[in-house]
Amino acid sequence: MKWRVLCQAALLLLVAGFGANQLDERLQALFSVDHITYRQLAGPQWDVKAAPCAQTAAILKQKFTYLGQGVQSYAFLSEDGRYVLKFIKHQRQSSPLWHRMCALVPRVAARAREFKERREGQLRETYRSWKLAYEELPDAAGLVYLHLNSTDGALGATKLVRRDGVGISVQLDRIPFLIQQRAEELRKVLRRLVAREQIPEACQLLDQLVDLLLSDYRRGVADRDQFLMRNTGLCGDRLIHMDVGAFVRNTGARDPAVYLQDLFCKGVRTGRWLATCHPALERHMEERVQREIGPSYAQLHYFERCQICHEPE
């Protein structure tokens, strides 16, 4: 009897949690301008060496329709289907309601301060990563334009269409955003190739993925992203980093002892997903990473998180 009540309560909580989550996702997808303008960073460290050119202006003349969102950003797709306009999700910065409701309670106030500092740190990390990607890996990330510090009216307004079809106008000069080539998530492309039994083509893409990572390391950059299958995408016939929010700069990443360890971990992690897709893909990835690493492969250890951090400035 007791167990039945407990099971029912657990089920109820699960359903309520799932419902709240769905509602939250729906509300977020509805999107308001506040979501991307709540808090910005400013300062010379965020100056980007890029002036809007004729190509940028032509792209921004188009209407952009809601495409998707992750933890850090919203993406909107251009009318011609070739470009993505990406904004930082600033509502992540606003503190939970209970922090504001209980602001007079010292423990809650301390929690709220910690929360604010943590979120500001995360926002700085996102700015840093976007800038690094734009300056060091524009091709590998398919980046066309990056805007961080406010500008003086050169960009004007662009029209966004929310998921519910409502159009809103956004003044771009005061908002951090980037323009990126549109890509298709690697996991979707791989699933499609497997469904068509095009295993050699799928293996070629995995080789491209390893080549992409190796070329980042050579430039002294590492991607701390844990979800390469969903955050890397196929753009035409080449793979690009779709998610540019987790890059770190570290010249140490050029050292084989450092990058091969990171490659090993990324190989193991992607291997888990590949095993669910097709065993030949998991085998191919493992063999390719083993070839890159050589005899020391068997001595390496797996870490859940990327061990390469920003080098101190």
Ligand X SMILES: Nc1ncnc2c1ncn2[C@@H]1O[C@H](COP(=O)(O)OP(=O)(O)O)[C@@H](O)[C@H]1O
Residue closer to ligand X, measured from CB, 71 or 298: 71
Element (H, E) at 238: strand 238-241
Residue closer to Mg ion, measured from CB, 227 or 297: 227
Residue of 290, 243, 245 whose CA lies nearest to 268:
290
Whole-angstrom CA distances from 204 to 119, 137, 146, 285, 290 are 39, 22, 31, 10, 16
Closest distance of CB 61 from Mg ion, Å: 27
* 147 exposure class (CB count in 10 Å sphere: 0-12, 13-18, 19+): buried
Look at residue 73 and give the partner it binds from ligand X, Mg ion, none, a contact being a CB closer than 5 to 8 Å depending on partner kind. ligand X
C-alpha count within 13 angstroms, C-beta hemisphere, residue 196: 9
- The type of residue at 9 is A
Work out whether strand 73-78 and strand 238-241 pair parallel, antiparallel, or are unpaired: unpaired
Residue of 192, 184, 268 whose CA lies nearest to 226:
268
Residue number, nearest CB to ligand X: 70
Site string for Mg ion, 190-219 (x = CB under 5 A): ------------------------------
Plot region of 28 (φ>0 → left; ψ -120 to 50 → alpha; else → beta)? alpha
Q: What is the distance between the alpha carbons of residues 195 and 197, in angstroms, rounded to a whole number?
A: 5
Element (H, E) at 114: helix 106-136
Binding of Mg ion by 68 (CB under 5 A): no
Q: What is the distance between the alpha carbons of residues 278 and 160, in angstroms, rounded to a whole number?
A: 39
Closest distance of CB 75 from ligand X, Å: 3
Closest distance of CB 303 from ligand X, Å: 21
Closest distance of CB 243 from ligand X, Å: 3
Look at residue 78 and give the partner it binds from ligand X, Mg ion, none, a contact being a CB closer than 5 to 8 Å depending on partner kind. none
Residue closer to ligand X, measured from CB, 217 or 247: 247
Closest distance of CB 106 from ligand X, Å: 34
Element (H, E) at 37: helix 34-37
Residue closer to ligand X, measured from CB, 202 or 242: 242
Closest distance of CB 262 from Mg ion, Å: 19
187 near 281, Cβ under 8 Å? no
Binding site residues, ligand X, CB under 6 A: 67-73, 75, 84, 180, 182-183, 231, 233, 242-243, 245
246 near 225, Cβ under 8 Å? yes
Residue closer to ligand X, measured from CB, 68 or 138: 68
Map the footprint of Mg ion across residues 238-257, applying CB under 5 A: 243
DSSP character for 172? G
244 near 143, Cβ under 8 Å? yes
Closest distance of CB 215 from Mg ion, Å: 20
Extract the tokens encoding 185: 């998530």
Look at residue 146 and give the partner it binds from Mg ion, ligand X, none, a contact being a CB closer than 5 to 8 Å depending on partner kind. none
Residue closer to Mg ion, measured from CB, 60 or 242: 242
Residue closer to ligand X, measured from CB, 87 or 264: 87
Taking CB under 5 A as the criterion, the residue among 70, 138, 156, 252 binding Mg ion is 70
Residue closer to ligand X, measured from CB, 68 or 252: 68
Closest distance of CB 160 from ligand X, Å: 14
Residues in a beta bridge with 297 = none
Q: Give residues in contact with Mg ion (CB under 5 A).
A: 70, 231, 243
